[in-house]
Amino acid sequence: MKRKTRLIHGGIAGDPHTGAVSVPIYQVSTYKQEGVGGHKGFEYSRTGNPTRHALEELIKDIEGGQAGFAFGSGMAAITAVMMLFNSGDHVILTDDVYGGTYRVMTKVLNRLGIEATFVDTSNLENIEKEIRPTTKAIYLETPTNPLLKITDIQGAAAIAKQHNLLTIVDNTFSTPYWQTPIELGADIVLHSATKYLGGHSDVVAGLVVVNSAQLAQDLHFVQNSTGGVLGPQDSWLLMRGIKTLGIRMEEHEANTRKIVEFLVNHPQVEKVYYPGLETHPNHEIAKKQASGFGGMVSFDVGSQEKADQVLNSVKYFTLAESLGAVESLISVPAKMTHASIPKERREELGITDGLIRISVGIEDVEDLIEDLTAALS
């Protein structure tokens, strides 16, 4: 099966009981048992729900793993994955991970004794230097948010295997349409499905795919024990979103390419961050490990005043957190998504007050460029 076909025919097709082409929303908490323990695969909806199960089978198929899991948000998914570790375990993470990931590692999971070190994983040597006897995993986000840095997944997974560590990849930005980390050697792939997978700014969800029967058993145990599951209605909405992921990603990509070209040539723009640019330091790896570069672009206009001016002038770019939906969104990471990262650390990373991030939607690109032209003038 090719990619777009798998998005539509992967997982569980329709409903065998009625012939319904779309998987029904099983809005139910419990299931009748024919005698104690005599159930039809479902006992209680925290443990398993048919609609959520269909979504979990679908994400498993499109990421090419062994089992899928759906959670109430991306952060719930990330937290559940971290619950695979014990007090005293150490995880090495990409330094400009999603702000919420940084926060949960440094303000919540640290209290439970899970230690984190953040390094620039786009240079693999930085990972090796931080491996300790207690290190259990390498956690990558690639491309990163908002600087679009790229880590060589295959290279990192090879280091992980050598030291008997798990490789975990947050694949939110690329989606399995462009990048399938398990094929590159990752053990666990996770998503904020709130973004491209949902695609319509109408659902908050998280997904995880694991690549072994043991991890599947362990993560199901955590999911059922801690209970951060996705409800049936939202599971259904996500399946609906995923069906059009392919055509949406193609449009995001085509629009983004034109916008990047516009930004690179604009005199008010000091710097453009996009892995599709040949001048991007990790362009070759991006090209090798993903079949598309995605719809996220960041650019620096030099100062907070100029950034404010752009944000206040645009009309088709909605000022909002989040990304990956059909409508174009614009944000200033330093003041919004990355506000939970201390200022000194932000500046170390290059997340300046003049840095603008856009999530390019699937509107007509001529309108988007006209909008940016006016806002930058």
Catalytic residue set: 46, 98, 170, 195
Residue number, 204 or 362, with CB nearest to ligand PLP? 204
Looking at 55, 75, 165, 184, which residue binds ligand PLP (CB under 6 A)? Answer: 75
Looking at 172, 235, 256, 282, which residue binds ligand PLP (CB under 6 A)? Answer: 172
- Judged on CB neighbours under 10 Å (0-12, 13-18, 19+), 103 is middle
Residue number, 172 or 298, with CB nearest to ligand PLP? 172
Q: d(Cα 121, Cα 165) in Å, to the nearest integer?
A: 15
C-alpha dihedral sign at 229, 233, 235, 237: negative
Looking at 24, 100, 155, 302, which residue binds ligand PLP (CB under 6 A)? Answer: 100
> In the chain, where does DSSP find H-type helix?
3-9, 50-63, 74-82, 99-103, 124-130, 153-162, 175-178, 213-226, 232-243, 245-264, 283-289, 304-313, 343-349, 365-376
Task: Tell me the window of 95-103, 294-302, 353-361, 365-373 that interacts with ligand PLP (CB under 6 A).
Answer: 95-103
Tokens at residue 40, please? 């039809």
Q: Site residues for ligand PLP, window 108-147 (CB under 6 A)?
A: 141, 145
Q: Site residues for ligand PLP, window 184-223 (CB under 6 A)?
A: 192, 194-195, 204, 206
Any contact of residue 170 with ligand PLP (CB under 6 A)?
yes
Tokens 């949902």 locate to 198
Min dist. Cβ of residue 192 to ligand PLP (A): 3
Residue number, 210 or 269, with CB nearest to ligand PLP? 210
Residue number, 102 or 317, with CB nearest to ligand PLP? 102
Task: Tell me the window of 80-88, 94-102, 226-234, 356-364 that interacts with ligand PLP (CB under 6 A).
Answer: 94-102
Task: Tell me the window of 69-77, 132-140, 238-246, 285-293 that interacts with ligand PLP (CB under 6 A).
Answer: 69-77
Q: d(Cα 299, Cα 360) in Å, to the nearest integer?
A: 13
Total interface residues for ligand PLP by CB under 6 A = 15
Q: Site residues for ligand PLP, window 240-299 (CB under 6 A)?
A: none
Whether the link from the prior residue into 267 is cis, omega within 30° of 0, is no
Cβ atoms < 10 Å from Cβ of 248: 24
Task: Tell me the window of 9-17, 97-105, 121-129, 211-219 that interacts with ligand PLP (CB under 6 A).
Answer: 97-105
The phi and psi torsions of 63 (rounded to 5 degrees) equal -90, -10
Any contact of residue 234 with ligand PLP (CB under 6 A)?
no
Strand locations in 82-205 (E) = 90-94, 115-119, 135-141, 166-170, 188-192
277 CB-near residues (< 8 Å, 6+ apart)? 260, 264, 283
Looking at 45, 73, 174, 256, which residue binds ligand PLP (CB under 6 A)? Answer: 73
> Which residues are bridge partners to 300 per DSSP?
271, 355
Min dist. Cβ of residue 331 to ligand PLP (A): 11
Cβ atoms of residues 71 and 230 within 8 Å:
yes
Q: d(Cα 227, Cα 230) in Å, to the nearest integer?
A: 9
Residue number, 49 or 79, with CB nearest to ligand PLP? 79
Where do contacts with ligand PLP occur on this chain (CB under 6 A)? 73-75, 98, 100-101, 141, 145, 170, 172, 192, 194-195, 204, 206
